[in-house]
Structure 1
């Protein structure tokens, strides 16, 4: 920080975070297109000056709009090179054309969105792994992943099909990251309390919120059974009778898939010996249930609320983040 404030320039890591790219991408652009720093501190360490940053910001804007990297590099150098005899104006931070409507979000979310718009898969993957490792699943989902996904969806709706490839790439890497950070389930046995069953309502294809909840529950030691998208009503009822789950989380992204009769049917399923019958705790997740009369069923306000409720049922307690970085530090996930 002292070096940067003294005018020594940005480090490669700091510049990568600012631009929303990976350090590997910056080194690749330096090696392939000569977009490296003008000077190196002590002859070794890379330090990026404001002029260097201006070139790379132009490079990011051009590649985001679909210009091939080699052509974008030439244009970026020419566009930021001051005319002969003229002192260059101070570089200003610019908004890339087609930038996503994010609003007030974490800096990590902005970097993730920029990388997704550029279709820079290595940068997307690196940033997702970084926020999960640093903050844990709950904060990473609520403050970084979900806002970026929502922004892509809004941009897609307002721009026709132009951003559908961005949504597909970002969704794939979010899902991959969540699964990568989901621990293996414990050894088979006969737990005192049944697992948490997670399923999308029939016709519902949006699984990412359930994948985030599944990863967080398993990290907290809660057994789960993940059934994924568009589970038929008959199959869902059969699974409840076979498993005797402590809770069922039924996700609906839209009102078209949010069936209250189905939810009540699943909540009424009973199992066990005569005279000691059990029923499941029914939790309805997703915006599709908004405005519905869900008497007797839980409606969490978000991932953290759902996690607190379900972990309390298993005695693991809310707020216990088992992400390695947080476990070593002995603290819970930070909030903005």
Structure 2
């Protein structure tokens, strides 16, 4: 965010600037003393650059998963470190802890690691096991989920983007998806379903940024099996009428991060287009995603499994995986149905002739 804001902003203007509701700002002021210096214009409080700097720190720390009271103490410490050039006395919050107002906005500085945040770890090796199960403890999972949910509810897009990119870089796409992204997406979905369709905008913003973070996963050079053969890519597609493809994007990120080439066709792929893509690419495997029973199409899975390519007498057919909760019923013989992202990655590695990389237990 740009720190060059004009002094004397109203509470509503600051709320829009930071993506925090005015009610939240007033609550932080009342409970924790995170408020503007005690000056008013026309009976209304005004926020100066130093006040806004403290708010930014409060937002950053709560997005990192720290409890609000602890975040407030750290944010007030920022104000105390920077001094109070205007000579104003420290102001006290409702908990009696003094805070100070400063006129100047602090320059760039290194952000201290919150004492409750996980120890940074190097990015996982492409194609190797995810690093997260060894480094993301149960407490870490709760903290990461809490921070991401808070940032999403505030519609704080920069914080959501930074948190997701950090998660994927630190733990890999598989762990980030299973341990944090899915739980937070489910929690947000349950919230708007039980609140009269409120917070739909939160789910849309979060879904968009999850998709963006997954698509940023870098792909190392494609691996070949030990015999040197070059099997076709993995073809990823949602069945016709299926619009939900976030889980398929997580699978694509896991494949790409492991050096397995894939072709993503995305949501609601027509039957004819899917058949043409199979014949043109000669895939080692095809993954058909269905989110609900109403979109699962068993005859389609059977037809894809029978679709061949190559010269007569040496025709090839792909392995077919039906993925997603929509495929809960019977499936054609020979069609695989993985029940998790890790199962799907292992099955697809096998379909391309690889021994799955050993992952965490």
TM-score, normalization by structure 2: 0.61
Q: Are 1:312 and 2:350 matched, yes or no?
A: yes
Shift of 1:291: 2.8
Take 1:52 and 1:268, find their aligned partners in 2: how far apart are those partners? 60
Take 1:318 and 1:262, find their aligned partners in 2: how far apart are those partners? 28
Q: Are 1:256 and 2:294 matched, yes or no?
A: yes
Contiguous gaps of at least 5 residues in structure 1: 1-27, 37-47, 58-76, 84-102, 321-331
Corresponding residue SS for 2:170 = helix
Distance 1:104 1:253, change over 3 A: farther
Whether the 8 Å CA contact 1:125–1:177 is kept in 2: the answer is yes
Distance 1:273 1:49, change over 3 A: closer
Take 1:49 and 1:284, find their aligned partners in 2: how far apart are those partners? 41
Distance 1:219 1:35, change over 3 A: closer
Shift of 1:192: 2.4
Distance 1:191 1:229, change over 3 A: farther
Count residues with an aligned counterpart: 246
Corresponding residue SS for 1:170 = helix
Take 1:160 and 1:132, find their aligned partners in 2: how far apart are those partners? 33
Please name the residue that 1:239 is paired with: 277
Runs of 4+ in 1 over 2 A off after TM superposition: 28-36, 48-57, 77-83, 103-107, 182-187, 291-295, 312-320
Q: 1:268 aligns with which of 286, 298, 306?
A: 306
Please name the residue that 1:222 is paired with: 260
Please name the residue that 1:137 is paired with: 173
Whether the 8 Å CA contact 1:252–1:289 is kept in 2: the answer is yes
Q: 1:281 aligns with which of 319, 344, 360?
A: 319
Distance 1:227 1:174, change over 3 A: same
Contiguous gaps of at least 5 residues in structure 2: 1-46, 56-65, 76-90, 98-138
For the pair shown, the structure with the greater C-alpha radius of gyration is 2
Shift of 1:111: 1.4
Take 2:50 and 2:332, find their aligned partners in 1: how far apart are those partners? 59
Take 2:53 and 2:95, find their aligned partners in 1: how far apart are those partners? 14
Take 2:180 and 2:211, find their aligned partners in 1: how far apart are those partners? 14
Structure 1 window deviating more from structure 2 (248-257 vs 285-294): it is 285-294
Shift of 1:125: 1.0
Shift of 1:305: 0.8
Please name the residue that 2:211 is paired with: 175
Corresponding residue SS for 2:288 = strand
Q: Are 1:125 and 2:161 matched, yes or no?
A: yes
Whether the 8 Å CA contact 1:199–1:228 is kept in 2: the answer is yes
Whether the 8 Å CA contact 2:237–2:287 is kept in 1: the answer is yes
Q: Are 1:80 and 2:116 matched, yes or no?
A: no
TM-score, normalization by structure 1: 0.65
Please name the residue that 1:195 is paired with: 233
Q: Are 1:159 and 2:178 matched, yes or no?
A: no
Whether the 8 Å CA contact 1:182–1:216 is kept in 2: the answer is no
Distance 1:154 1:185, change over 3 A: farther
Corresponding residue SS for 2:265 = strand
Please name the residue that 1:17 is paired with: none
Q: 2:50 aligns with which of 26, 31, 52?
A: 31
Whether the 8 Å CA contact 2:309–2:317 is kept in 1: the answer is yes
Distance 1:278 1:315, change over 3 A: closer
Distance 1:228 1:113, change over 3 A: same
Take 1:211 and 1:112, find their aligned partners in 2: how far apart are those partners? 19
Aligned-residue CA RMSD (Å): 3.4
Take 2:283 and 2:184, find their aligned partners in 1: how far apart are those partners? 33
Whether the 8 Å CA contact 2:220–2:257 is kept in 1: the answer is no
Please name the residue that 2:150 is paired with: 114
